[in-house]
Amino acid sequence: MHTTAEQDPDAALLDGEASFGAGGSPASADGYAVPGFDAVAQLASASLDVAMVSLVLNNGSAYWYSRDPAAHGSHVLHPLYLEAARRGTGQVLPDIAADARYRDTPPLTGPSPATLRFFACEPVYTLNGRHVGALCVMDHAPRASLGEAGRNALLQSARLAGAGVVLGGYLGRTDPVTQLPHRSAFFEDLRARRQNGAQRAWLIAIEVAPVERFNAFVRAMGFAYADELMRAVAARVLEWMPTDTRLYQVGVTRFAAVLPDADVPLETGQLDDLVARLRTPVICMDIPLTLQPGVGLLELDMRQLDGADPLRRVMSASYAAQRSPRGWALYERSQDERHRQEFFLVTELAAALTERTELYLHYQPRVRLSDGKCIALEALARWRHPTLGEVPPGQFVPLAERAGLMRSLTGWVLDHGVAQLAAWHRAGHDIGLSINISNADFDADLVTRLQAVSSRHAVDPRALELEFTETTLLAHSDATRRHLDAVRELGAGIAIDDFGTGYSNLASLRQMPATCLKIDQSFVRAMDASRHDAAIVRSTAALAHDLGFRVVVEGVETRRIYETVRRMACDEVQGFHVSRPLAAAAVPPWLERAADWHQADGGDAS
């Protein structure tokens, strides 16, 4: 009868391979070792007074221990001795040289510290009596016999080794927090299903909460709370699970299962019920907590099990489901490919920020309406990938935000932008530079970074302006005012960018120590066609002026909109009618001809 790992947890270690050097701590190639082997080996070596001890498992794994300090390299037991070790009975060879069956065959085929003359082995069994290998002992000198005390010491050592094999199998399959079988067991059992003739399977993955949200739980409440939370969620899922279905914990915040019916997927109502259970607040350590779960489904062709990663694919669906109102989703190849492409771009962007020269800056001028003078240039990050070509900012900037790369990206823009500004100042161009600052940059370190880059490039901070979206500003509370005040004390300006698209109220706007308000281009571009948008721009500009802000209008793309804005209470404009974003080398020529461009009929300074 074929016994699978699913049917017999004691067999968990028997599908792997491992080899170990003498005297080293074992660590198997399949990811888990035999716990306590060193202690068992040292006990056997001392009680039997032997030089070498080996635990040989039936799958070919071997764990070695030697008390000889000269022993180096890996050892392999000769097949003749290996056969004796696998018989399931004890064996004692008091003097190998005196035994006709063995005298011409040394026990080890690998490097040996000296000729071995004594060999004995005792079978190793798991707790349910399964024969899994043998514990072997060897020494350089022959001996008359092992004796009753010696045989008993070897027997007890073999029993301890068997307990270690069971423990190693348990640890190799079981999550210590939830006591559920984990990822290795999931794949072992899935392969066992295929070996038993299954052609198809339906997989389900459950994402308990987004990783960043779960990490927030840990930061706020500690690991004990997070562990208790996962146990509580596991209990809910187990109550819902169809009969004869095993639940696995395949990640810190993820569960998975193979559904029992490979031909009929779960009904919509069953999935809705699971999501409803998971969305019900969890009372954990007397604290209620609402999760953001996602449930993914994947129909798997068992022939695709090798060379593919079905768990990754079904988790792609559960990840997408977290952002779905319904909370569950079927796997979609196109969506999966988009996730993989995003991951590729994130890793490439991280490399571009540290190792390569693919990033560069463009600069979009901002001119004063009263005289057409260029007041400042906005630094805009661009990325030219060596194989993908130009990657749009609208694609890589949000990725950088989600991947935690915004501080690095902002630092790169600050350093390169201020360096370029210093070069323009040395050339006699009296202009400022505005730089976008993200939510991730908004901390006490911001002023330090600003001071450092200004000092490094010998640029007066008063020539710099930091642009924050109103959403970024409102994402912080008490710390917001302190950080902004510190930036202002340094001399740098503060602009509220994309104003009108967030959720600012007049009270928060009045309290912000900003110097400039930039009206979002989404209102400006439609001014010709929408009197409501024109009214919004006009009233916002008047209000901002009354509050003491300098008003910049973005998205000025036509002469007509430019003239409309001139009749409002606005100070500066920015947009394609003024200039498209320019490469650094194109800025000086543009500045030379920009002084009176606005006087030309329909002129465009670009």
Q: What are the residue ranges spanned by the domains of the chain? A: 9-172, 183-331, 342-599
Confidence of residue 473 (pLDDT cuts 50, 70, 90): low
Mean pLDDT value of segment 424-452: 90
Q: What is the third-level CATH fold of 183-331?
A: Alpha-Beta Plaits (3.30.70)
Bridge partner list, 366:
376
Mean pLDDT value of segment 221-240: 89
Confidence of residue 74 (pLDDT cuts 50, 70, 90): low
**Residue 403 tokens, joined:** 């991947």
Longest dimension (CA), the chain: 114
Mean pLDDT value of segment 241-262: 87
Candidate ranges 25-29, 288-292, 371-375, 580-584; pick with highest mean pLDDT = 580-584
Across 470-594, where does the E strand assignment appear? 493-499, 516-519, 550-553, 572-573, 582-583
pLDDT of 15 higher than 90: no
- Residue holding tokens 């004691």? 10
Residues 6+ apart with CB under 8 A from 128: 8, 10
Question: Between these two residues, 303 and 378, which has the higher pLDDT value?
Answer: 378
pLDDT of 359 higher than 90: yes
Sign of the four-CA dihedral 49, 50, 52, 56: negative
**What span, in angstroms and rounded, lies between the C-alpha atoms of 64 and 201?**
41
Q: Which tens digit of pLDDT belongs to each residue from 119-130?
A: 999 999 987 787
Q: What is the pLDDT of residue 24?
A: 33
Please tell me the least confidently modeled range out of 57-71, 478-492, 518-532: 57-71
Mean pLDDT value of segment 461-475: 82
Q: What is the pLDDT of residue 25?
A: 33
Candidate ranges 87-101, 415-429, 504-518; pick with highest mean pLDDT = 415-429
> DSSP class of residue 605?
-
* Contact of 33 with 169, CB cutoff 8 Å: no
The amino acid sitting at 20 is F
Domains 9-172 and 342-599 share a fold: no
* Contact of 65 with 54, CB cutoff 8 Å: yes
DSSP reduced 3-state for 327: coil
Q: What is the pLDDT of residue 502?
A: 56
Q: What is the pLDDT of residue 389?
A: 92
Question: Between these two residues, 584 and 8, which has the higher pLDDT value?
Answer: 584
* Contact of 55 with 132, CB cutoff 8 Å: no
Confidence of residue 47 (pLDDT cuts 50, 70, 90): very high
Can you give the length of the chain in residues? 606
**What span, in angstroms and rounded, lies between the C-alpha atoms of 320 and 327?**
9
**What span, in angstroms and rounded, lies between the C-alpha atoms of 405 and 440?**
9
**What span, in angstroms and rounded, lies between the C-alpha atoms of 593 and 597?**
7
Query: What is the rounded average pLDDT for all residues in the chain?
Result: 83
Cα-atom radius of gyration of the chain, to the nearest Å?
Answer: 35
Mean pLDDT value of segment 566-581: 91
Per-state percent for the chain, helix, strand, coil, to nearest 5: 45, 20, 35
Q: What is the pLDDT of residue 500?
A: 64
Q: What's the gap between Cα 361 and its chain centre?
A: 28
9-172 CATH: 3.30.450.40
Q: What is the pLDDT of residue 33?
A: 58
Across 516-590, where does the E strand assignment appear? 516-519, 550-553, 572-573, 582-583
**What span, in angstroms and rounded, lies between the C-alpha atoms of 461 and 489?**
10
Question: Between these two residues, 110 and 46, which has the higher pLDDT value?
Answer: 46
Q: Which tens digit of pLDDT belongs to each residue from 260-307?
A: 876 667 889 999 999 999 999 988 878 888 888 999 999 888 877 765
* Contact of 245 with 260, CB cutoff 8 Å: yes
CB atoms inside a 10 Å sphere around CB 122 = 25
- Long-range contact list for 508-513, CB < 8 A, 24+ apart? 508/473, 508/474, 509/547, 510/547, 511/481, 512/473, 512/480, 512/484, 513/481, 513/484, 513/485, 513/488
Mean pLDDT value of segment 240-260: 89
**Residue 478 tokens, joined:** 């008490």
Question: Between these two residues, 502 and 249, which has the higher pLDDT value?
Answer: 249
Q: Which tens digit of pLDDT belongs to each residue from 296-346?
A: 999 888 877 765 688 888 988 998 899 889 999 998 888 788 878 888 898
Classify 342-599 by CATH class: alpha beta
pTM over 0.85: no
pLDDT of 497 higher than 50: yes
Question: Between these two residues, 606 and 86, which has the higher pLDDT value?
Answer: 86
Candidate ranges 27-31, 93-97, 103-107, 594-598; pick with highest mean pLDDT = 93-97
* Contact of 248 with 205, CB cutoff 8 Å: no
Bridge partner list, 123:
134
**What span, in angstroms and rounded, lies between the C-alpha atoms of 520 and 537?**
9
Q: Which tens digit of pLDDT belongs to each residue from 397-430?
A: 988 988 889 999 999 999 999 999 999 999 999 9
**What span, in angstroms and rounded, lies between the C-alpha atoms of 297 and 573?**
51
Question: Between these two residues, 182 and 141, which has the higher pLDDT value?
Answer: 141
Distances in whole angstroms, Cα of residue 192 to Cα of each of 5, 36, 157, 306, 597: 8, 29, 32, 13, 76
